[in-house]
Each structure stands twice: as structure tokens, then as C-alpha cells.
Amino acid sequence: MAEELSLLGMWASPFSCRVKIALKLKVVQYKYVEEDLFNKSPLLLKYNPIDKKVPVLVHNGNPLLESLVILEYIDETWQGYPIFPKDPYERAVARFWAKFIDDKLLPAIRRACWGEEKGREKAVEEATELLQLLEMELKEKRFFGGETIGLVDIVADTLSLWLTSFEEGSGVELMTREKFPKLSKWSHEFASTSAVKENLPPKDELTVFLKSLFGKPAK
């Protein structure tokens, strides 16, 4: 039986983008299905009735949900490019930072850029502190994964293109080159990697879309 692989995604979603990058690194072919978040397809509702969110990876009829879970599955299912480190402790460290980005950093960035005006200053401070921890974790490495991109780099995709669009859309500056020289360099290198580059959405359209989604006028 031929392998069937589809990805239900959305062009502006950094979570969908993670899966696209991982599949590209693994050199795995798949059918891409673009979802309209304001008019969700019967396929999405069927495969993810719980929260009806993208990305959903469907492998031989089996739906996989949640980008972090999907990345684990991709690395376990297809050989070739290693997304997770081999050593169990290094793998645990990578999983910790992936969770840190999703559970702590991204909500903090969202509050800093699009949260209520009165709590804005504190939110910017919090997001800055969390970014500082990630800056330290990069150490002298080119990527979080070392010489090549790995799990944490892929999960941190939001910090490359999306954060710039967030900043432009909201007028809040978070990850400046002066404050975060390592992350800024990483961001540039990451976005220049071929597997990443060809899967990133067009920046201007993304800025307009995010601004309309979060509803705050640019300053």
C-alpha cells in the first residue's frame, strides 16, 4: 500500500510551519491542505474535533495533533535527518526548551505585544526575561541543535519571522540586536536555512494578517 500523508495547515501558523520544516528536513513528500480558520473544513472537524486547530498530520488515515507531538512522531517514523538529539539527557533538555517556548515564552510575547495596555510594561519585562534565558541557552552554538537545526530551533520558528511581524504590527520592540545579539544572529541564520526559507510565509502579508487577527492598530 502506498503511504498516504497529508498535512492540514494554515499559511500564517508558526505551528503548521514547524511541521512543514520537519517534513522537509526528512525529505518526506506529503499533500498539503490549506485550512480557512474562519470556515473550517469537514476534514479538520473530523480529525481534530477536540479543539479544531491546525496543524493536523494524517498518516495512513491516522490523525496526529499538537505540533510538538507531531514532531516527535515524525522523528520516530522517518529515518534520515535527526530532529531530536540521540542522547536521552540532551533529548530531555531539548524537550524542556520546546515546552518552555510554548508554555511560557509565546504567551508572554503575545501579552507583551497584544495584551491590555495597562499591563503592557510588566508583560514586556517578563517576555524580555524569558528571551534572556533563551539567549543564554544558545551559548556559543550556531543553532540550538548545534551545527544544524533541531527540535528547539524548529519550535522557536516564531522568533524568526513572526516576532518581527508582531513587533511591526504592535509597535512593541522585544528582540533587538543590541539586547539579544545571539538570538538575532540565530534568527537570521535559521531563516536563511533552505528547509526553513521555503516554508516561511511572506512577511508583509503576515504582518497585515497578524495585525487584523489581534486587532491592534500599528503605532
Interaction between residue 88 and a second copy (CB under 8 A): yes
56/172 with CB nearer a second copy: 56
CB of 163 to a second copy, least distance (A): 20
| Identity of the residue, 158 or 193, whose beta carbon is nearer to a second copy in the bound complex | 158
Yes or no: say if 206 and 198 are a contact pair by the CB < 8 Å rule: no
Q: Give how far Cα 68 sits from Cα of 97, 151, 188, Å.
A: 11, 9, 23
With CB under 8 A as the contact rule, which of the stretches 29-37, 100-108, 117-125, 207-215 interacts with a second copy? 100-108
Name which of residues 36 to 75 contact a second copy (CB under 8 A). Answer: 50-51, 59, 62, 64-66, 68-70, 72-73
Query: Toward a second copy, which CB reaches closer, 32 or 96?
Result: 96
CA 1 vs CA 4, 32, 185: distances in Å: 9, 20, 45
Whole-number minimum distance, CB 102 to a second copy, in Å?
9
From the list 100, 114, 162, 166, which residue makes contact with a second copy (rule: CB under 8 A)? 100
Contacts of 148 (CB under 8 A, 6+ apart): none
- Sites of contact with a second copy (CB under 8 A): 50-51, 59, 62, 64-66, 68-70, 72-73, 76-77, 88-89, 91-92, 95-96, 99-100, 103-104, 133
